[in-house]
Chains A and B, each alone.
Chain A
Amino acid sequence: MGVEAQNPAVVEVTDAKVHFGAVKALDGVTIRIAAGESVGLVGHNGAGKSTIVNIINGGLTPHTGSVSCGGARIERYGIAAARAHGVRCVFQELSLCPNLTVIENTRVMHRGLRGFGWRKRAAEVISRSLDSIFPGHTIAPDATIGDLSIAERQMVEIATAFSTISTPVKLVILDEPTSSLDATLAAQLLAYVRVFVENGGSIILISHILGEILSATDRIIVMKDGKVVTEKPSSAFDHHSLVAAMGSVVKARDAAPARVKVNGGMLLLSAPPRRGKGLRFNAYAGELVGLAGLGGHGQTDILLDLYLSKTGNWLRNANAAVTFVAGDRSLNGVFPLWSILKNLTIANLSDLSPRGMVNDGREEALGTSWKERIEIRTKDMDNRILSLSGGNQQKVLFARALATSAPVVLMDDPMRGVDVGTKQEVYAIIRAEAAKGRTFVWYSTEMEEVSLCDRVFVFSEGVIVKELTGADVTEENILAASFTGVAA
């Protein structure tokens, strides 16, 4: 009782159970978030992280179990009640209105902003919040969200969640907050999280970057199959024990692939130096080529240019030379209204339609074979794509690209926000495909992925500044190159 009184729970979810049809998303979860603590939430795809987050932010009512705030049980806990109790959420997929300005998005989040002069007040609130979290940012409050880069949008979203008008912010749920931020911005955010917690706020941090979880939280809750399996202070975990607790079978780091000798292969892709500066880009058959550097330094642009250089033609080529795996799933990856099967086979329809009509049998066969190969977790490939978790949606997008006959696969940071287990599965697929002679050009913001590559081009300010091969592909070298800028 004494402890309870000293450190009251901001939010407490007791024995929550949620099921979608036959699938148990949550099977009796109890979570208590005290004031002034930072809690990490980790687990695989479908472990129930998003579900518990949705319960805490009021978007979902558990079928059994209860939610209480500040010790008092709340009967009709919903979005409005959650917000009234100071619960805010930064969602994994960006959720701002792209047609509105930064100020107007702030207004959407805060009911209190109205009446005469609301714009001015909103501008003050959001600028203050942005300044304190990301000092040195260059976002104008009257900029339209659609004109901002992904990283800037994420910054705005985070700043909006931490901004206060009338109800004080007590708990902020950060769901993959750093997925679009580069290392510097991520560090600024994590530093702010510490300050926020020291001042009595609470944080729930969900991240696939285990280093972040370990360094930025006081306590880690590990979930698996809709249950809490372990709950310990962060200091009691390290990288290995955390991965082990999640039940991931793959050893985290020492699973680096045997490097293949590549230069014997055929030159498949090349591009002149970007903006007339820096190094040439080239890629040989059977190679894993990494594009590294800080986020948003021209890696996506070169991928798009490479893609358009091979496909930008009004007449469709029967055998495409390149295929693309998009990073922003919701924007240019999935067809949200289509089934999993249709999403998977869209890139391959010409092979499945011998006389201009889609052959259902062959389409289904293709779907079934890929479902097994990459283990898409669904009972029925005719389910809507959105019924899958984010990681599984991404697997479908991979299958879509791999099912084509294109010898080159371009990947635009496709593992954003995908959990560790799924990643390892996809890495294995990529390695297997590369061994068969496919070439992968892989932009990734994560060092772990970059270090899987045979050769890495490091980008800075839109230009390739460094080419690293084999054993030289190390975090140190990449970081050093990212921060040097263009020499020429």
Chain B
Amino acid sequence: MKLRLSSDTIRLIIPALSLTILLISVFYLQPRAMGYLGLNLLFNLAVPIALATIAQMLIMTVNDLDLSMGSFVSFIACVTATFLQSDPAIGVAILLLAIAVYAGLGVLIHVRDLPSIVVTLGMSFVWSGLAILLLPAPGGHAPEWARAVMTSRPPLVPMAIVASVIIAMFSHFLIMRSSFGVILRGVGGNARSVERAGWSILAARAATYALAAFFAILAGIALVGLTTSADANIALRYTLLSIAGVILGGGEFTGGRVSPIGAVIGALTLTLAGSFLSFLRISSDWQIGAQGAILIVVLGLRLLLNRMEKKEKRA
């Protein structure tokens, strides 16, 4: 009997493999990283990135793209470090409002048939502006509970790993296994057929955007929990990191083909790539270029695998 791997599994192989290779290389270069503390240090900044990547992945599930992810997470970080810490009630209200705004964006994009890139690019300036209004200079304090969660030390396995696994499992269940997730992915795959089955695409888009905002908010809170203070530009690079993470993890820009587990692995890989390059003592001038090179190698591998898969199907 021949072992048949589902295309979803094949999709996951490359990200999992690249993470493993990268991890082995890091351990080889810096054996001291191979421990509870080392792993936590390597990966703890990956937790907010993983959450933002899941948020981006949700938007990409319905064939959209969110270019305001970075500025939105920065804005949330500023809210967390100010209102959420000092006046939790107002803070929570602001966060709920932010979710409502995201749902509204989904509605707007759907009803007016606007390109999501344009709308979210515009919104990125709005979020940045609001963040600067809140915190004109870096500052603020992380709420105690956020700090406590992010610096907690669970037995045996470090917090960063536990959190990544929980994020991956929860979003996998939500997007890939639940009957609700099927509709979201269906909208990405063939919106017309979902509509013909009597579903409201409008509601599905609004729900997707709201859910994405929820994950982005968690990303902002997690980030402040780690850094203890915030700044209006704290997470600007998350926009591109989150998109790269989704793609690295086997997701695609269109067609509702996404993988939450892959997305989390993608986020971990991206974080690790930075540390890897530092361990190699590559000057920071070259790091971004080298990070790009790693991305190209991994994506090249995936194209190769896709091609092999296609050939096998034809034969």
* Distance to closest chain B CB from A90 (angstroms): 11
B167-210 contact mask (Cβ, 8 Å, vs A): 1 or 0 = 00000000001011011011011101111111100000000000
Chain B interface mostly:
helix
Instruction: Check if A362 is an interface residue, CB within 8 A of chain B.
Output: no
User: Which residues of chain A come closer than 8 Å to B6, judged between CB atoms?
Assistant: 142, 144
> Residues of A within 8 Å of B, CB-based: how many?
29
Q: Is the CB of B189 within 8 A of A98?
A: yes
Q: Is the CB of B190 within 8 A of A95?
A: yes
* Distance to closest chain A CB from B37 (angstroms): 41
The stretch from A25-33, A101-109, A315-323, A469-477 touching chain B is A101-109
Complex CA gap A114/B188 in Å reads 20
Q: Is the CB of A96 within 8 A of B255?
A: no
Selected contact of B255 from candidates A79, A99, A108, CB within 8 Å:
A99
Instruction: Check if B262 is an interface residue, CB within 8 A of chain A.
Output: no
B281-315 contact mask (Cβ, 8 Å, vs A): 1 or 0 = 00000000000000000000000000000000110
> Residues of B within 8 Å of A, CB-based: how many?
26
Residue of A nearest to B189 (CB): A97
Q: Is the CB of B196 within 8 A of A91?
A: yes
Residue of A nearest to B193 (CB): A95
Instruction: Check if B266 is an interface residue, CB within 8 A of chain A.
Output: no
Most B CB within 10 A of own CB, among A83, A104, A111, A301: A104
User: With A100-B189, A108-B193, A144-B7 as given contacts, are A80 and B198 in contact (CB-CB < 8 Å)?
Assistant: yes
Instruction: Check if B245 is an interface residue, CB within 8 A of chain A.
Output: no
* Distance to closest chain A CB from B220 (angstroms): 30
User: Which residues of chain B come closer than 8 Å to A104, judged between CB atoms?
Assistant: 182, 185-186
Instruction: Check if A341 is an interface residue, CB within 8 A of chain B.
Output: no
Complex CA gap A91/B194 in Å reads 13
Instruction: Check if B141 is an interface residue, CB within 8 A of chain A.
Output: no
User: Which residues of chain B come closer than 8 Å to A243, judged between CB atoms?
Assistant: none
Complex CA gap A119/B6 in Å reads 17
Instruction: Check if A296 is an interface residue, CB within 8 A of chain B.
Output: no
Q: Is the CB of B192 within 8 A of A99?
A: no
Q: Is the CB of A96 within 8 A of B198?
A: no
* Besides A99-B255, A146-B7, 9 new A-B residue pairs in contact (Cβ under 8 A), listed by A number: A59-B196, A79-B196, A83-B198, A91-B196, A97-B185, A105-B186, A107-B179, A108-B186, A144-B7
Question: Can you list 29 A-B contacts (CB < 8 A)?
Answer: A79-B195, A79-B196, A79-B197, A79-B198, A83-B197, A91-B196, A95-B193, A97-B189, A97-B193, A98-B190, A98-B255, A99-B185, A99-B255, A99-B257, A100-B186, A100-B189, A104-B182, A105-B186, A107-B179, A107-B183, A108-B182, A108-B183, A108-B199, A111-B198, A113-B179, A114-B179, A144-B8, A146-B7, A301-B314
